[in-house]
Amino acid sequence: SEFVSTVAHQLRTPLSAIKWTLDILLKDATAGSLSIDQKALLMKAYESNERIINLIRDMLGIDRIESGMFGFSFIEISIIDLINNILEEFASQINRRNITVSVKSPEGLPKISVDPQKMRAVLQNLIENALKYTKEGGTLSLELHVEGDKMKIVVADNGIGIPKEQQADIFKRFFRAENAKAVDPEGSGLGLFIVRTIINRHGGDMTFESEPGKGTKFFLTLPLHHT
């Protein structure tokens, strides 16, 4: 863990320099004109560099969360407002791929005490995965309800699902199911590990049900209040 953290920090500066240089070549006319083929090659390099930067960001995020350096600030928010805001960010993708989205919750759903930034990361990841691994014309649903002093959130899709023999590993660092790799070869395999770590730091729990070819449901259980 210490080695990964050190390497990740050391890589950020040269990667940022590469990004800056490629950005100038692609966008600044004073750097010289480029042919279409040259631009295409530079764009591939830029995109690859971005993937490495995002991987480094995720690795550092894990290190900070686990070490306690990544502080959590709990405030009461409307989780429905947060979900609707996130769905708005994915609106173009949802419309383009004709995904049917539904959000169900009882009237008068209470506010919940969470770290808004971290909870946004959780829901963004689950929604993004659901959209990514669901075929055109598929469905995404979110259901919320309260049981006692806890809020239950279910994020469900009718996508590719998770192979039975690989379900035990789904929350491990860097793990990706074989069918997920076929859809998106570039994923880091850190998303669900980070999501569950954040949920656990909230004092909550996260489980799932999945059937290959039929979809996946993630179940989040979070305390309504933090003292």
pLDDT of the residue at 216: 95
The per-residue pLDDT for 47 is 85
The residue to which tokens 């990667």 are assigned: 15
Tokens (6 digits) for 224: 């309504």
Q: Alpha-carbon torsion 12, 184, 140, 148, what sign?
A: negative
Q: Give the C-alpha separation, 157 to 137, whole Å.
A: 11
Would strands 139-147 and 100-104 be described as parallel, antiparallel, or unpaired?
parallel
Whether residue 62 contacts residue 193, with contact meaning beta carbons closer than 8 Å, is answered with yes
- pLDDT in 10s for each residue of the chain, 227 residues: 677 667 777 887 888 889 888 888 888 767 778 888 888 899 989 888 888 887 777 777 776 666 655 668 899 999 999 999 999 989 999 999 999 999 999 999 999 999 998 899 899 999 999 999 999 999 999 999 999 999 999 999 999 999 999 999 998 887 788 888 888 777 777 889 889 988 998 999 999 999 999 999 999 999 999 86
Residues contacting residue 184 through CB under 8 Å, at least 6 positions apart: 132, 133
What is the full DSSP assignment across 133-197?
Answer: TS-TT-EEEEEEEEETTEEEEEEEE-SS---GGGGGGTTSTT---HHHHHH-TT--S-HHHHHHH
pTM as predicted: 0.74
Phi-psi region of 153 (alpha: psi -120 to 50; beta: other; left: phi over 0): beta
Please give the structure tokens belonging to residue 181. Answer: 């790799």
Alpha carbon 57 to chain centroid, angstroms: 12
Reported as half-sphere exposure (CB side, CA atoms, 13 A), residue 180 has a value of 23
